[in-house]
Amino acid sequence: MAFYLAKRLGLSAAVILLVVLVLFSLLYLIPGDPATIALGPRATPEAVARYAEKMHLDEPVWAQFLIYVGNALTGDLGVDVFSDRPVAEIIGERLGFTLALVSAGLGWAVLLGVPLGCLAAVRPNTVFDRITGVLSVGTIAVPSFLVSIWALLIFAVGLGWLPAIGAGEPGDLGDQISHLILPAFAIGLSWVGYLARMVRASMLEVMGENYIRSARAFGLRPNKVVFGYALRVAILPTITLIGMGFGGLISSTVFAEIIFARPGLGKMIFDAVMARNFPIVQGGVLVATGLYIVVVLISDLVIAWLDPRVRESL
């Protein structure tokens, strides 16, 4: 297990280093001087010179990259162009809103998608199985931004059941939860279908194994066979999908946070792109990528811990 952990950590570090290299290259892939691009075309030569010195843009490219990597390792993601505040501080203020939204969206998708897939596999080729299949394909096909718009129009504007925009009053947990329901529903709906289809396919494969037939032949209760034996094995590929779903939902939060005006990481990156605030863009993308890699790493370690065959195959 320690060797497997070391290999996964090394692979994760390599991916993060590659992402840092790509983010650092953004300033030089865009035509024009990085300082002028960051400050705008109306910046004075003195302001451009001060910014270039402050951001070490007057150094060689390789030295700038080493400085950028060293600062990132210490948590220094740069300084906001407009407010002159540390990027890490700005991201810290927004990160909690995005994590709450992603956790809520993926949480309700897991609570609904896994039982649906399990029940569909237990009753294959029945009306319930066909309805589950149609709903799964339908939820997967609908993009999250479209669900966000219609959920806003129906439940917030039309019916007035839930608040439309914002993240709720600070310190008021009930108000924050009510503001979280619609965006979490919008980004998690498609993952209900993904999870239901994955669990159904895995369960059907496991239900045909010899040890499941033996358990049934010994007269064990159906619930014991399904949930005690079959689901414990069939859930392993779903754990990987949940880890990948976390990363997918981070990208989906961009649309939800824009539509519902939530002060999260996705909206912050979008606003920074529109304003050409590259330190915010670089820091936000780096943090989002790091979160995705950490969650995938945790899911891989959980699978390796539950299934020794994964450790032995590497």
Query: Residue 86's beta-bridge partner residues?
Result: 79
CA atoms within 13 A on the CB side of 66: 5
Task: Answer with the one of 73, 101, 123 that is the final residue of a domain.
Answer: 73
Per-residue tokens: 192 = 């209900």
pLDDT band at 290 (very low <50, low <70, confident <90, very high): confident
What is the arithmetic mean of pLDDT over 187-192? Answer: 84
Residues 21 and 58 in one domain: yes
Task: Give the lowest-confidence range in 148-162, 166-180, 181-195, 297-311.
Answer: 297-311
For residue range 33-44, what is the model confidence (pLDDT) as tens digits?
666 666 666 767
- Token readout for 32 is 């024009």
What CA–CA distance (Å, rounded) separates 8 from 3? 9
Q: Does pLDDT of 314 surpass 60?
A: no
Q: How far apart are CA 245 and CA 193, in angstroms?
A: 12
Answer whether residue 107 shows pLDDT above 80: yes
Of 313 and 162, the structure prediction assigns the larger pLDDT to 162
User: Cα separation of 151 and 234, whole Å?
Assistant: 33
Q: What is the domain range of residue 196?
A: 90-313
Report yes or no on 287 lying in a domain.
yes
DSSP class per residue in 285-312: HHHHHHHHHHHHHHHHHHHHHH-HHHHH
Q: Tell me: do 112 and 69 sit in the same domain.
A: no
19 and 104: one domain? no
Q: Are residues 67 and 114 in the same domain?
A: no
Q: 86 — phi, psi (to 5°)?
A: -60, 135
* Domain annotation covers residue 6: no
Give pLDDT tens digits for 37-70.
666 667 677 776 776 666 666 677 777 778 777 7
For 181-197, letters b (16+ CB in 10 Å) and e give: bbbbbbbbbbbbbbbbb
pLDDT score recorded for residue 264: 83
pLDDT in tens, 292-309: 888 877 777 777 776 666
Beta bridge partners of 79: 86
Kindly state the percentage of the chain with pLDDT values over 90: 0
Q: Which long-range contacts (CB under 8 A, 24 or more apart) does 57-63 make?
A: 61/28
Report pLDDT for 310.
Answer: 60
Q: Is the residue at 282 inside a domain?
A: yes
| Residue 83: other Cβ atoms inside 10 A | 11
41 in any annotated domain: yes
Q: Is residue 266 assigned to a domain?
A: yes
How many other β-carbons are positioned within 10 Å of the β-carbon of residue 153? 12
> In the chain, what percentage of residues exceed pLDDT 70?
85
Q: What pLDDT score was predicted for residue 30?
A: 63
In this structure, are 61 and 119 located in the same domain?
no
Residue 81 falls within a domain, yes or no? no
Report H helices in the chain.
2-29, 34-39, 45-54, 61-73, 87-122, 127-141, 144-151, 173-207, 210-217, 222-223, 231-259, 265-274, 278-306, 308-312
User: Sorting pLDDT into bands at 50, 70 and 90, what band is 186?
Assistant: confident
Pair (160, 255) in one structural domain = yes
Q: What is the CATH number of the domain that holds 259?
A: 1.10.3720.10
Query: With bands split at pLDDT 50, 70 and 90, how would you rate the model's confidence at 311?
Result: low
3-state secondary structure (DSSP) of residue 91: helix
Total of domains in the chain:
2
- Residue 34's pLDDT is 62
40/14: higher pLDDT: 14
Given a contact cutoff of 8 angstroms between Cβ atoms, the answer to whether 278 and 26 are in contact is: yes
In a domain, 299, yes or no: yes
Distance of CA 293 to the CA centre of its chain: 10
Are 212 and 304 contained in the same domain?
A: yes
What average pLDDT does range 113-126 have in this prediction? 83
Of 26, 47, 73, the one marking the end of a domain is: 73
pLDDT at 133: 83
Residue-level pLDDT at 36 = 64
Do 183 and 309 sit in the same domain of this protein?
Answer: yes
Confidence band, pLDDT 50/70/90 cuts, at residue 110: confident
Q: What is the pLDDT of residue 29?
A: 66
Residue 306 sits in the same domain as residue 161:
yes
Judged against a pLDDT cut of 80, whether residue 112 lies above it is answered with yes
Q: Is the domain of 33 the same as that of 168?
A: no
Nearest-angstrom CA–CA distance, 107 and 115: 13
Report yes or no on 5 lying in a domain.
Answer: no
Residues 49 and 163 in one domain: no
pTM: 0.77
Say whether both 157 and 39 belong to one domain. no
